Structure 1
């Protein structure tokens, strides 16, 4: 992604201070923390790649993440000319570079990385060193376009500060290592001077190195402690004198660092270490030691101190005794204590809440293992803050860099809370959807309503009872559910017992009468016991269930209460929040509307079915012939229709069987069906004609009596000749019946096309067909509602019917027709269905019990014309 518009501005390219600073930071080895920071930037901002780049005379990638930005395997630093660096645009501007759509942005659209499609959107912020020089950039990017927000820019800016700090710390580590190497070289080159002070004679012997350090020639040095004091800085004399005296008095070590003022006016820093030696009496008689010039180290330390003091991150060092040895100004501010109070103080005494916390665990682990550690931890009041801490070992103890990330954690917590709230809202919506789908999946009032408890537990309560107000105004508990399966039987027993045990002033009846919810926020068990009859089983059961709180909500529809929902909570603290109470009310409202709609449908359906059935009479049951009929109205309420069946005897002893369908699905169709059915019965009974002639007479009567409709029908005449049974039939545009042989074979009755519908042409040709039926045969006739479906072809449905009939062929006739309806019309259906089936039982013996009693009317022959 590093190819860029050529030609960085000269002022930027010639900035010597910037170049020196960038080179110093670039010279340090890459630190893993920078890689993690790049990964963090990409993850927090949701981009494909991120990188940290430094700009001297070339661009150096110090850290990168993402397939588009990562260096080649094994490389940790990759250099490019400044003119090819995208980050140069960011560094030159000195401000965040926000590019939502690189392809259309005049600043970058001509760049090779953009033209190649590698960079579609880009966000970069400049990196500034302690002197304010722009030394590079932290950027995130990806191949797609993106609308960057102010929050994105702020977050990347904060991360850029951390990146500079990491670079400074890494450079600092390199500088300290260089100082240590220089010190070792100085020692190796003989730059350490030695001294020997005879405490009995007062003679002080120095070697040449020490004389040079103090600016003495051999002849000028008086070999006395006064010569040492003469060169010692006046401000350091009291402190050094005390250290010498302590060593002598205790026969112990001596250590001090002090300033030496040489004759030419220059000041040098010298560190001395020694040991007092005692005679046989234990008295100190000599003090031996060595000293070395630490002026260069002091200069480096001062430089390091300036860096640490200018850092925007807090930093402190702890000695091996866990006392503060260094604290920068930011650490003073964050820790809330002045430097004078911190330096030399025990960290565990000054900050007692750190004991046995993550702070102590990680600090001691770093000291013990010599491995760095990075962690986040909270320190309570008075700091009351979250910190991101990086601790690493140093020769004198443990150094700690830390950032106050309290605001970031609060933002994370706020985001998590927002996500949790969104998830809760989504779950509430899913609950409403599940309830709505379940309630609309059936028209059975009690089944739909009783299942409501299963949705509400455990989402809104530990257990629940669902009560129905039936059409007679009586309360009846239908559904119950407990979150604990082991308590389900207990709740079920309470459901069976409570209604008869509740007193008239109980909360349940109060909600029913007023239509307003009731809440018992605490001690619900006692409140319920007081509302149940003394000595009742319900009292004992509610004591065992022991609810802590409850809410009873009315289930209302069209201005009246049609049911009640009671939600119970084992712990009073778990009672419903206002949001959940609103959700429960919404669920109740939906349940009430579904319940009322189902009741309205059931009422309409009963009226429609009653009307239809009133138009159909029970079939005859001739000797050794069993007739079964079924009628199922359309699924939608008040959908009466024109389907009909009929079975009656004629004066000559024949059984006439009819199946028919008048076009339409309404009251008019039902009325027309009644007319046509009556005409057909009259014509067939009085004339005794064959089915074809009956249909011809019916067609003429429909025209002459102005029955303005069309219809299909199959009229069959069952004629018993003594030695055989003959079926004569004629088909007016209807579906062919099915014949099931005694051996279970299935065939269609008639293979040709049906003749013209009724009500179209009274002069149309009508013909009869005849077939002999074996005893044990079954004939099934049906209307189109049995097989027609919008999404399946008629051929497929007829094949399915053949399979179903074959499977059920051995069943008793009543079971067969029920099975056909169940398997062919398993759910809701748009059309009404009529079935007529008859079975020929053997003539020998009694009529089978499964056929029921014989039922035939007294047949009266019509008068001769």
Structure 2
């Protein structure tokens, strides 16, 4: 699948160029040659698929694709519709990605079917691609492919969309470079194997028990024999030897067999045509079950060229593209090829004949010595990697294999491959940190918490310490600022800071509180905010910022922190700046690299949007909560009857609800309390709540009637006033005659319109640890809750009455206190009864009880708003307790209106 696009922008918009083939090539290959080489390299399609998927997801597109283009297109990564095309080759002229490669620039199109550059492509005509955006992939400065996303419907792409794709180019190019280096590395391994083959080394195996002597084909060639002419015995070998060398070779073999040790000999053989050839042989005798030698294994190669001065084997070794050297059993250098001399050249003294451990004493006791000795002791080859510090500053894969006359070692330079892997890992790690930072910031809508998370994420990742600055109002774009604009520092606060060194965190915190006022108009922070550009101080940050600080404590704290370099970035919201991020590195740290600055720009962009969201949320939340609270008034405080109210809004911004409470005195002297909940969670519910609350309290005060009558009048008034809503409510009155006052009791009369029942907590002895909590249901246990308000204006409503002793606590609440997703409301009520019993038993004041009750019952992020009314009946034969506050009642109450017929 190949998307379509249109070109726009500048050719240098896709980030850094990376040289891939510089080691192997003598000149820069063409773009097509580069693409063909990369097409043949082994790619990590899973990583490339993830990048394509990430690109599509970040741009909100249906599909993403990574492709290489020469004379054909190869899709090497895909997501969405392109997922099935990975590994597929197709003609380049049919690929819309060719527009991106030919232009060597970003390509953007909103409606492919109506774009004369794209309408001819098959996938556009088929309707598969309707909108496209892509950026080129460059190797050695040449565009070799494209990273793109596309959609099945026309759409508009923003400059931010293009920027996101450009940010994702780096890990794609790093993967391409790694694939190319891996291919080159395998080629070097093949060259080495060919070099060994070219040396003409043959192998032999002499079974001392059966007497059979087996030679491989290369050794047969060295002796000028074949399978039919070689006798397969030690006598056949002796027959081929030059007579003058027979005794010497026999003694060497006998000694190796007797000692079960090494065999080494160099001798002449007489070929069937009479030609003399020199052979060098190395081997080892191996013991059998009885401890005596059972076989001799070894290898041999032609040394005629060396003996004749031609040094053919030496030339092969010299031509090897890797460093090679040989150590004898005494760890002395016997041979070092040219690349080996380059590698070992910085050492002083002659290499040949020198002991490796004396020449390189720093290697003694390291993994290098351990691996070399293990290879010699075990007789098995070893492989390992080693990195050398400057001035060599290279990484090598080392292969060492034991031979009868010592240890052969070669080094393959894997520095570029390791650096590519490291770059890819660093790019992935940086992307992971940025992704995690975005997730952390989007999980909170509290600006202070978001700023703290940003400071802690940046310090230790991109800097040694940092400060986060927020503005109490958005900072406009400098292009629209007027001469009368406010000074740059007005409304700014350094709200968060962090340092990797715990001992310096108090210093950063103290400097944070003083910095804004201490900075002059020439400060770098002022420049970053007024220009809304990134400001970089590569070196000498201590002196540079000291010069724009006023005298006083802030300057002294700054000199204690003394950073080397700094980066100051504006935190941009949607169309304005919400603050700034200041990042510092201390004297012992490296200056900021271009990659570091790019990451910080990305982090600041993500943080700016998150902080802007938090600001908008706070504004909406404050507006919603202010509206809700403006409708809820403080309760009266009649003598010996303490009323406490609480309202807790839902966690989601602007989700004002219909929960309300009320408490007022009626003309007859009774205290009425109300709890209610209008169905819904929006501004309409809040408005309906305000109407019902005003309607109910007006009717209750005007007529001074029972709770059931009040609810009935409200029901009928709602129909007359066409208030189209439904609500639950409990209306209750605390009534008392003179005799009841003398007896120390109070009647509690209530009527329930489909609302959770009130709770009454009765201490066993008036006040004490033993508390019984009762849910007040209707007098008839079998009677259902009466209808909600707003359903039937003619519904019959009844009162329930219970006589309460003084000292009890009555609680009215809305369902948000007990109802949770995934939990039955009965379970919540049972928990509430347990908590109320514990808190009343602990003899908390009523205010303390309400605060602790909300803390225990509500989750960290409550989904519903909550209202509660708590009433405590203090004994009337004692003074009103101080914790109940002053007596607070209106003046003389007017007589209630008589009912009208």
TM-score in terms of structure 1 length:
0.61
Task: Check conservation: 1:779, 1:837, Cα contact below 8 A.
Answer: yes
Matching residue within 642, 656, 666 for 1:640: 656
Matching residue within 424, 428, 451 for 2:453: 451
The answer on 1:405 being equivalent to 2:420 is: no
What corresponds to 1:747 in structure 2? 774
What corresponds to 2:804 in structure 1? 773
Matching residue within 821, 824, 841 for 2:857: 824
Deviations 1:310-342 (A, max 9, x none): 9966798888999998x8xxx8776799xxxxx
What corresponds to 2:748 in structure 1? 727
Task: Check conservation: 1:45, 1:152, Cα contact below 8 A.
Answer: no
Relative contact order, higher structure (CA 8 A, sep 6+)? 2
Deviations 1:406-426 (A, max 9, x none): 4xx35xx51x33332233223
Instruction: Note the C-alpha offset of 1:734.
Output: 0.8
Task: Check conservation: 1:334, 1:404, Cα contact below 8 A.
Answer: no
* SS of corresponding position for 1:712: strand
- Measure, in 2, the Cα distance between the counterparts of 1:549 and 1:680: 67
Deviations 1:277-323 (A, max 9, x none): xxxxxxxxxxxxxxxxxxxxx99976999999499667988889999
Instruction: Note the C-alpha offset of 1:725.
Output: 0.5
Instruction: Note the C-alpha offset of 1:538.
Output: 2.1
What corresponds to 1:763 in structure 2? 794
Matching residue within 544, 562, 576 for 1:527: 544
CA RMSD of aligned residues (A): 5.0
The change in CA–CA distance for 1:385 and 1:747 in structure 2 (over 3 A counts) is closer
What corresponds to 1:210 in structure 2? none
The change in CA–CA distance for 1:348 and 1:856 in structure 2 (over 3 A counts) is same
What corresponds to 2:92 in structure 1? none
Matching residue within 654, 657, 664 for 2:670: 654
- Measure, in 1, the Cα distance between the counterparts of 2:371 and 2:326: 13
Matching residue within 610, 629, 636 for 1:613: 629
- Measure, in 1, the Cα distance between the counterparts of 2:538 and 2:734: 75
Bigger radius of gyration among the two: 1
Matching residue within 492, 497, 500 for 2:509: 492
Task: Check conservation: 1:371, 1:393, Cα contact below 8 A.
Answer: no
Deviations 1:190-228 (A, max 9, x none): 9989xxxxxxxxxxxxxxxxxxxxxxxxxxxxxxxxxxx
The number of equivalent residue pairs is: 607
- Once the two structures are superposed, the pairs formed by residues 694-733 of structure 1 within 5 Å of their partners are 694-721=710-737, 722=741, 723=743, 724-733=745-754
Task: Check conservation: 2:202, 2:301, Cα contact below 8 A.
Answer: no
What corresponds to 1:738 in structure 2? 759
Task: Check conservation: 1:165, 1:313, Cα contact below 8 A.
Answer: no
Matching residue within 841, 862, 865 for 2:874: 841
- Measure, in 1, the Cα distance between the counterparts of 2:573 and 2:873: 53
Task: Check conservation: 2:332, 2:356, Cα contact below 8 A.
Answer: no
The answer on 1:860 being equivalent to 2:894 is: yes
What corresponds to 1:110 in structure 2? none
- Once the two structures are superposed, the pairs formed by residues 449-488 of structure 1 within 5 Å of their partners are 449-471=451-473, 473-488=490-505
Matching residue within 564, 577, 582 for 1:561: 577
The change in CA–CA distance for 1:352 and 1:719 in structure 2 (over 3 A counts) is closer
- Measure, in 2, the Cα distance between the counterparts of 1:816 and 1:335: 83
What corresponds to 1:681 in structure 2? 697
- Measure, in 2, the Cα distance between the counterparts of 1:517 and 1:436: 20
Task: Check conservation: 1:655, 1:718, Cα contact below 8 A.
Answer: yes
Deviations 1:341-400 (A, max 9, x none): xxxx97158999966586999799989998868577899999x99685646575xxx455
The answer on 1:782 being equivalent to 2:813 is: yes
- Measure, in 2, the Cα distance between the counterparts of 1:299 and 1:169: 6
Task: Check conservation: 2:357, 2:364, Cα contact below 8 A.
Answer: no
What corresponds to 1:594 in structure 2? 610
* SS of corresponding position for 1:574: coil
* SS of corresponding position for 2:877: coil
Task: Check conservation: 1:313, 1:403, Cα contact below 8 A.
Answer: no
Deviations 1:511-544 (A, max 9, x none): 121111211111111112111123x222222222
The answer on 1:541 being equivalent to 2:557 is: yes
What corresponds to 1:107 in structure 2? none
Structure 1: any 5+ residue segments left out of the alignment? 1-43, 47-148, 194-256, 271-297, 338-344
* SS of corresponding position for 2:870: strand
- Once the two structures are superposed, the pairs formed by residues 20-169 of structure 1 within 5 Å of their partners are 168=201
Task: Check conservation: 2:331, 2:406, Cα contact below 8 A.
Answer: no
* SS of corresponding position for 1:470: strand
- Measure, in 2, the Cα distance between the counterparts of 1:447 and 1:364: 53
Deviations 1:53-98 (A, max 9, x none): xxxxxxxxxxxxxxxxxxxxxxxxxxxxxxxxxxxxxxxxxxxxxx
Structure 2: any 5+ residue segments left out of the alignment? 1-41, 45-181, 207-212, 220-231, 249-265, 279-299, 319-323, 343-349, 474-485, 765-770
